[in-house]
Amino acid sequence: MQERVTMADVARAAGVSSATVSYVLSGKRAVAPQTRAAVESAIAELGFTVNTAARSLRTGRSSLVALIVPDIANPFFAQLAATLQEELRGMGIHVVVCNTRARRDEERALLAEAVQQRFTGVVITPFRLLPRDMETLTAAGIPAVVSADVPFGPVDLVTPDARTATRRALERVTAAQRRRIAMIAGPRDATGGDPRLELLRSLAGQFGTALPRELVIRGEHTREAGAAGFARLMDRRYRPDAVFCANDVIAIGAMDKARELGIDIPGEVALVGHDDAAFASLVHPQLTTIRYPADSVGRAAARLLRERLDGRPVHRTVHVEAEFVARDSA
Amino acid sequence: MQERVTMADVARAAGVSSATVSYVLSGKRAVAPQTRAAVESAIAELGFTVNTAARSLRTGRSSLVALIVPDIANPFFAQLAATLQEELRGMGIHVVVCNTRARRDEERALLAEAVQQRFTGVVITPFRLLPRDMETLTAAGIPAVVSADVPFGPVDLVTPDARTATRRALERVTAAQRRRIAMIAGPRDATGGDPRLELLRSLAGQFGTALPRELVIRGEHTREAGAAGFARLMDRRYRPDAVFCANDVIAIGAMDKARELGIDIPGEVALVGHDDAAFASLVHPQLTTIRYPADSVGRAAARLLRERLDGRPVHRTVHVEAEFVARDSA
DNA sequence: GTGAAAGCGCTAACAC
DNA sequence: GTGTTAGCGCTTTCAC
């Protein structure tokens, strides 16, 4: 049962006060080189590490960052968690994973908890949350980074720029003479509607086509919803020959249903996903998709958080370029 | 900027001492019903929540559980994280994700950190760690739950029982007259060798076959290693007609290579994975695999941890039944 | 059944 | 450039 080494122990060993040890660690005031050296060697000798509980109690800030996402088991968010954790580790910050299951009540509860526990920061992909729900966080002075397709309250934002990639996707689809474009989008009550849908709609005109209302299906970001959505689309009199999906999980569900119905992809219907989740290249046919790079998003989020903790006062937005990945399904 | 409500505030509002508030919360000593009621309503009224930093400083225990795994982006571990988080949330415990990237130095560093930070518990899937590396944890009195195929030091264990499932897999493979069985296993220096390999080997005899040394390939748990391993197996004079893989990621790599080499699966070679990762049913042909249920593992780990925190002194092992999932690749 | 008070280890204001 | 010290909010011992 090793005893904990405290700053007082280090101070004694180095022949200084514990305040000096603290200042050596934080760099918040000048310390004479030889004092610093003595402290540092005492720290090394004794194997001292700071007690984060004491620090948190004193400063009112924990060393935790909450990652609040709809579904941590979704490969996109799992990768985001991995990258974020990796990036923040060097600062001694731990990443706490929080699943909202796409429910607004859980999103709000988790935000409230982040405030109560005095988390040092929050990275969140809101799903049904409203921008004003973020106020609790900003009021408490907790830096927040939102990873979302559209701006979301007065916080830092990591947002993909998918315009070019979406245009490429439309080029590809229309080059194959497809004009009846559909989308299986996210739920109607999701925060900010579905920006991926809006983008597709706004670009479709440039390609001599449009997304008629009856060819837009709304549903959850699940495989089941993808299958159901695809089935409904195939029932339309005006049957689509290209289907975009709000994410890859939905696209997989659509593929399930296509197989069940004996509909050839991409022969009869082209299919385009979003995210480039890890499994996108595993399905057959391989999924053509618009890639949102989870690792770049994670790195950007970590950087914004670091800057914020270093005192940057204004909010920043980082754009991450999405990428069209042409595989076999379109 | 909402001010924090402390126990002292609650105590004042309820007309008691802060000690009483503490005891109402912890239940560690009897409190008169009416006192308790007064305290509880004051808590509700003021919206009090305990300051975990202060509690941690005082008790020497944080409210964090570390989940230490080789790769959080692996769907199996992502699901484990999701379940664990869900299960522990009710206790006010947060799950911190820690990626070791299958490296022993990182595994050790993370364990050391769990001790330093006085984590309340650790759930770990060791990869290259040695059982004695766990001693730091046990010496510090930190409850640990290991999720692994074999016992691992004096800690609680969640372990799959894959005997029946593996037997089923062998039945299926040998019923198709396959006798030249191979395995792409984990690395030779992994902790405890590769129990999935040992199990397969020990059962093979019952099916009139064996795993000759030259048909066992060792490598990392990656897609690339799976592809490389499969290529090597196909180069053998004694070419296998059934290949087991230590996990599904490896199996996917093997499939990549089979496609590249124009080898039909399952026609020429049957392929069996382990885990039933989320993508197993997505690949073509769909992967036949031995399912290790991540959610059951997560629930069991949470339960063991809870029991331990409630004071159970002895170590327990929970067996989780693996399941043979027959799909198309074998 | 309840209260008073010490003290966990750190940070930062203040003093020199 | 360095030291002294108060106090963050809680738990728990001791006293009644």
Q: Read off the tokens for B199.
A: 């199990």
Distance, Å, A56 CA → D8 C1'? 9
Q: How is residue B73 annotated by DSSP?
A: T
In angstroms, rounded to a whole number, what is the distance separating the alpha carbons of residues A329 and A287?
5
Instruction: Please report residues of A whose CB lies closer than 8 A to that of B49.
Output: 116
CATH of domain B163-291: 3.40.50.2300
Handedness of CA B10, B16, B19, B21 (dihedral sign): negative
Residue of A54, A62, A95 with shortest CB distance to B97 = A95
Sorted by where each begins, the domain ranges of chain A are 7-49, 53-160+294-320, 163-291
Sign of CA dihedral B309, B312, B315, B316: negative
Residues contacting B237, CB < 8 A, separation 6+: none
- Contact assessment for residue A226 and residue A256, using Cβ atoms and an 8 Å cutoff: yes
Mutate to test the interface with A, among B282, B287, B328 (most CBs of A within 10 A): B282
- pLDDT band for position A310 (50/70/90)? confident
Q: Nearest-CA distance from A205 to chain B in Å?
A: 34
Residue in the block written with tokens 């514990």: A18
Residue B92: predicted pLDDT: 87
Consecutive H or E run containing A98: strand A94-99
> Distance (Å, rounded) from C-alpha A96 to C-alpha B52?
15
How far is Cα B240 from Cα B231, in angstroms, rounded to an integer? 11
Which among B97, B136, B278 has the least Cβ separation from residue A85? Answer: B97
Contacts of A141 in chain B (CB under 8 A): 1
User: What percentage of chain A reaches a pLDDT higher than 90?
Assistant: 87
Cβ-Cβ contacts under 8 Å, A51 against chain B: 57, 118
Using the predicted structure, report yes or no on whether residue B57 has a pLDDT greater than 80.
Answer: yes
Contact A140/B1, CB-based, under 8 Å?
A: yes
Residue of B199 and A284 predicted with greater confidence: B199
Distance between CA atoms of A212 and A200, rounded to whole angstroms? 12
Q: Is A122 helix (H, G, I), strand (E, B) or coil?
A: strand
Interatomic distance B65 CA / C2 C1' (Å): 35
Architecture of domain A53-160+294-320: 3-Layer(aba) Sandwich (3.40)
Q: What is the pLDDT of residue B230?
A: 98
Lookup: tokens for B283: 């690949």
Here the tokens at position B85 are 């988080």
With CA atoms as reference, the chain B residue closest to A62 would be B53
The answer to whether the CB atoms of B73 and A78 lie below 8 A apart is yes
Please write the tens of the pLDDT for every residue from B169-194: 999 999 999 999 999 999 999 988 89
Q: Identify the band that residue B1 occupies on the pLDDT scale cut at 50, 70 and 90.
A: very low
Note the pLDDT tens digit of each residue in B223-234. Answer: 999 999 999 999
pLDDT at A1: 45
Among residues of chain B, what percentage have pLDDT more than 90? 87
The H or E element containing residue B275 is strand B270-275
Long-range Cβ contacts of B305-310 (<8 Å, 24+ apart)? B305/B65, B305/B88, B305/B121, B305/B123, B305/B143, B305/B145, B305/B156, B306/B91, B308/B121, B308/B143, B308/B145, B308/B156, B309/B91, B309/B120, B309/B121, B309/B143
- What is the pLDDT, as a whole number, of residue A2? 55
The pLDDT score that the predictor gives to residue B319 is 96
Q: Tell me if A42 sits within 8 A of A14, measured CB to CB.
A: yes
Q: Using a CB-CB distance cutoff of 8 angstroms, which residues of chain B are in contact with residue A277?
A: none
Q: CA of B48: which chain A residue's CA is closest?
A: A116
Of all protein residues, which has its CA closest to the C1' atom of D7?
A58
Summarised one tens digit per residue, pLDDT across range B294-324 is 999 999 999 999 999 888 888 999 999 999 9
Among the partner residues A4, A57, A86, nearest to B53 by beta-carbon distance? A57
Rounded to whole angstroms, how far apart are CA atoms A52 and A4? 12
Question: What is the mean predicted confidence (pLDDT) over B44-57?
Answer: 94
Nearest residue of chain A to residue B138 (CA atoms)? A1
Q: Which nucleotide is nearest to A4 (CA to C1')?
A: C9
Sequence-ordered strand ranges (E) for A148-295: 156-161, 181-185, 216-218, 242-245, 270-275, 288-291
Residues A160-187 have pLDDT tens digits of: 999 999 999 999 999 999 999 999 999 9
SS3 A271: strand
Per-residue pLDDT, A220: 95
> Can you name the CATH fold of B7-49?
434 Repressor (Amino-terminal Domain) (1.10.260)
SS3 B122: strand
pTM of the model: 0.92
pLDDT in tens, A251-282: 999 999 999 999 999 999 999 999 999 889 88
The reported pLDDT for the residue numbered B268 is: 96
Question: Is there a common fold for B7-49 and B53-160+294-320?
Answer: no
Beta carbons of B252 and B184 less than 8 angstroms apart:
no
| Nearest residue of A to residue B59, measured between CA atoms | A53
pLDDT at B328 over 60: yes
Give distance CA B45 / C1' C11 (Å). 32
Our CA dihedral for A7, A9, A15, A21, rounded to 10 degrees, sits at -10
Q: Who has greater pLDDT, A305 or A284? A: A305
Query: Residue B261 CA to chain centroid, in angstroms?
Result: 34
Q: Name the residue facing A73 among B54, B78, B283 (closest C-beta).
A: B78
Nucleotides of D under 7 A from a protein CB: 1-5, 7-13
Per-residue pLDDT, B300 = 97
pLDDT digits (tens, 9 = 90+) for B74-103: 999 999 999 999 999 988 899 999 999 999
Query: Distance, in angstroms, between B94 CA and closest chain A CA?
Result: 6
pLDDT at B282: 87
Per the prediction, chain B carries an average pLDDT of 94
pLDDT for B2: 55
* Confidence category of residue A116, pLDDT binned at 50, 70, 90: confident
